Chain A
Amino acid sequence: MNQHFHKKAVKIDIGDGAAIPVRKDAGLFTAWWMTFFGAIAVIVYLCVTQPEPYWRVLKFLPDGVYVTFQVTVLSILLSLVLGLITGLGRLSRNRIINLIASTYVEIIRGIPLLVQLFYIYYALGRLEFFKDLPPMAAAVAAMGICYGAYMGEVFRAGIDSIDKGQSEASRSLGFNRAQTMMYVILPQAWRTILPPVGNEFIALLKDSSLVSVLAVADLMRRGREFASESFLYFEAYTMVALVYLVITLFLSKGVSKMEQRLNYYERD
């Protein structure tokens, strides 16, 4: 026996995002490097050699990038709140709370995001109460509710992965359940949770392209508008794809950096 016997090695793998570069994984790093700068190089090359129409497409897109960021950030915030509540609910010893949280997860996971988007905007939009729901709000609500269910599972697994001795030590000092969660469990769980949550962030950013069907003028929508006006489908969607790729890779690098910072108390 040694001092590490109580430590569980936990790795949560949920893959729908771009690969998040890991410091130790040189191969992945190279792949990230090549893709990121390759994409930028292609964009620059196209805009320089064929400014008409590529430069014109690129100039048309920034408004959409801004809206995509808006939708993504707001949806992430909503999904984090819902995810934490759901994760705690799934771990609750209260049967009713547990059942509500589990049912939410089951329902949301069983319905495609595109259907949820249509449902919230068009179906609920028929109700008097939601009559004036702006498309942006519907988009954020649908994305947040959907990803909240996925995040809930990640939070649950992350909180569950913390050794029972941690909460026993905290409780024996006199901390109550909520304080234990706040000061002892969550700060440690966050480290286990971050990689899969980062994955969800990236997947969410990509899925945000679906909100274009609700007349939200995001990056995808702007590309479609350009294409349908100019009939330059190839050029427009090439640019849209490249811009998404750059943004996604940028985000994945950001998550990787955050991960490294959260590992400060581990011995290598």
Chain B
Amino acid sequence: MNGIRPIIDIKNVYKFFGQLQALNDVSLSINPGEKVVIIGPSGSGKSTLLRSINRLETIDSGSIVVDGKDINGSGSDINLIRQELGMVFQSFNLFPHKTVMGNLTMAPMKLKKVPELEAKKRALALLDKVGIKDKAEVYPSMLSGGQQQRVAIARALAMNPKIMLFDEPTSALDPEMIGEVLDVMVTLAREGMTMVVVTHEMGFAREVASRVVFMDGGELIESRPAAEFFANPQHPRTRAFLDSML
């Protein structure tokens, strides 16, 4: 890793929700092109960590630097930093009052002043990529969960982010729809996108992750290359968790 500047650098981060310590001295650095999968039991702080990266959660101490910019720094504009960080949510959060096309073109047109025709062309290309080009003009309420989540991925990609954050993207889906969403994510990974994924999908982690991070009780327990992680987990808590998942 010599000479490579990490694109995300998390250092000694603490976060409290009232009395509850959500993140306890978490440090993690991620290089461009890496696919990091964060796993752990619920309440382990994995979603909080992910949401801290684009400041949907504000940390209490420590630092998070994204692409050279301290996201909590007084000189940095969080709205500009967020344009580099695409985010996909568990509950999709598509804008129900906009068509699929509207969902994809709104941010590029309003924030990057992309001309409408160009934004639409790019949106169609993205919809083609996630396999729902024919749904461009419908409203999200007409789509299945899997389709909505694929639109949500396309919406995030429409801003041309350098990094994609996924917060349990398949947890709200019916089982038969999980595959179609994971397929899109695998494609994205193969294209070299930097990805940070919080998930329970171990198959996806094995197939795609360059590194797997295990969190428990707000602490980062283990962070190792995927093959090593699954073949030979070091920490007893990691082993216990992996056993429980099988």
Contact = CB atoms under 8 A, between A and B. Distances in A.
A166 B89 contact: no
B91 A174 contact: no
A172 B87 contact: yes
A235 B92 CA distance: 62
A184 B95 contact: yes
A254 to B, nearest CB: 22
A175 B80 CA distance: 9
Contacts of B143: 3
Interface string A162-202: 01011011111111100100011001100100000000000
B180 to A, nearest CB: 14
B93 A188 contact: no
Contacts of A2: 145, 172, 174
A6 interface: yes
Contacts of B107: 173-175
A6 B82 contact: no
Sort chain B's interface into a size bin. 35 or more
Interface of B: 54, 56, 79-80, 82-83, 85-87, 89, 91-97, 106-107, 110-111, 139-145, 148, 152, 155-156, 159, 171-172, 174
20 contacts: A1-B172, A2-B145, A6-B92, A6-B93, A166-B95, A169-B93, A169-B94, A169-B95, A171-B56, A173-B83, A173-B106, A173-B156, A174-B79, A174-B107, A174-B159, A175-B111, A179-B110, A183-B110, A184-B95, A191-B97
Interface of A: 1-3, 5-6, 163, 165-166, 168-176, 179, 183-184, 187-188, 191, 264-267
Complex A-B, nearest 7 residue pairs according to Cβ-Cβ distance, in ascending order: A169-B93, A165-B93, A172-B87, A174-B83, A3-B145, A173-B107, A6-B91
